[in-house]
Amino acid sequence: MSTTITKESMNEFRNWLHSEERSEGTIAKYMRDLERLSAWLGDKEVTKENLTEWKEHLTANGYEPVTVNSMLAVVNTYCRFAGLNIKVKFLRIQRKLFREESKELTKDEYEKLIRTAEGKGNVRLAMLIETIGATGIRVSEVRYITVEAAKAGRTQISLKGKIRDILLPGKLCKKLLKYAKKQKIASGEIFITKSGKGMSRKQIWAEMKALCQAAGVEASKVFPHNLRHLFARVFYRVTHDVAKLADLLGHSSIETTRIYLLSTGAEHARQLEGLGLVQ
């Protein structure tokens, strides 16, 4: 395969990602990052030197280290796909001890979003926010919330080559079935558009963002994946079982789950004060 990134190689890469059963969201992210690299490279070849220079370019232009590493992961995957014996080293990042409060969605804010959606007459969005928040599913897994699942009280999710069972709270099931009946949805996916198709990630994202101002919640906190983080924090506070939480979230590594459980800077400060080591 050519050592330059071409439209043909990008299409082949996309098809390969599909064959690897990557989610649509992951594929979209990979293609965006590859397009950025392709635009920066121009006619230059994919070499270790050029990719290292691109890494330096990203860092110099203010990209967060985590973002740079996620883009390098895409590049390394592309090189593996293209048969190129190239692997760019990730930036070394000290593990974070706490999370920024400006990005943490609280339970009160979560409830505000639901009430605001209901107040605006968008019952579907209110139910969707509550469903993700109460189950911790990914936005790409919303399609597994069906009438049949609500009746059974559980759903089986197949994603990234893994299958896991998710229990649905009884109260949520009743609300989902009531909503489905009102919308005349007798079977299949519950969260669908007027044309009967499942809601897209982009549509869910846009509808959630549109609630921010009316709900009085910072836009930086309002996105589907943050509901998943909220579920993780609340579940852990109740159970203190990180292994079970990892299974529920579909994480292969508990280390990934631990990232979801970082305390905020304010919580971290209170913990330090509580040590009583300053006289």
Is 75 within 8 Å of 88 (Cβ atoms)? yes
Amino acid at 94: Q
Whole-number pLDDT of residue 7: 92
Mean pLDDT of 178-189: 96
Q: Is the pLDDT of residue 159 over 80?
A: no
Confidence of residue 234 (pLDDT cuts 50, 70, 90): very high
Residue given tokens 């804010």 in the structure block: 109
Rounded to a whole number of angstroms, the distance between the first and last alpha carbons of the chain is 67
Confidence of residue 31 (pLDDT cuts 50, 70, 90): very high
Whole-number pLDDT of residue 99: 65
Q: How many CA atoms lie within 13 A of 67 on its CB side?
A: 11
Q: Is the pLDDT of residue 94 over 80?
A: no
Whole-number pLDDT of residue 107: 94
Mean pLDDT of 40-45: 92
Share of the chain above pLDDT 90, in %: 71
What's the mean pLDDT when you consider all of the chain? 90
Q: Is the pLDDT of residue 72 over 90?
A: yes
Q: Greater confidence, 232 or 264?
A: 232
Closest listed residue to residue 107, CA positions, set 133, 125, 144: 133
Q: Is the pLDDT of residue 97 over 70?
A: no
Instruction: Give residue 84's Cα distance to chain centre.
Output: 29
With a CB cutoff of 8 Å and minimum separation 6, the contacts of 242 are: 236, 254, 257, 258, 261
Q: How many CA atoms lie within 13 A of 186 on its CB side?
A: 0
Confidence of residue 251 (pLDDT cuts 50, 70, 90): confident
Give the Cα separation of 79 and 110 in Å (integer): 41
Share of the chain above pLDDT 70, in %: 91
Residue given tokens 């529920």 in the structure block: 248
> Tens of pLDDT along 106-147?
999 999 999 999 999 999 999 999 999 999 999 999 999 999
Give the Cα separation of 257 and 246 in Å (integer): 6
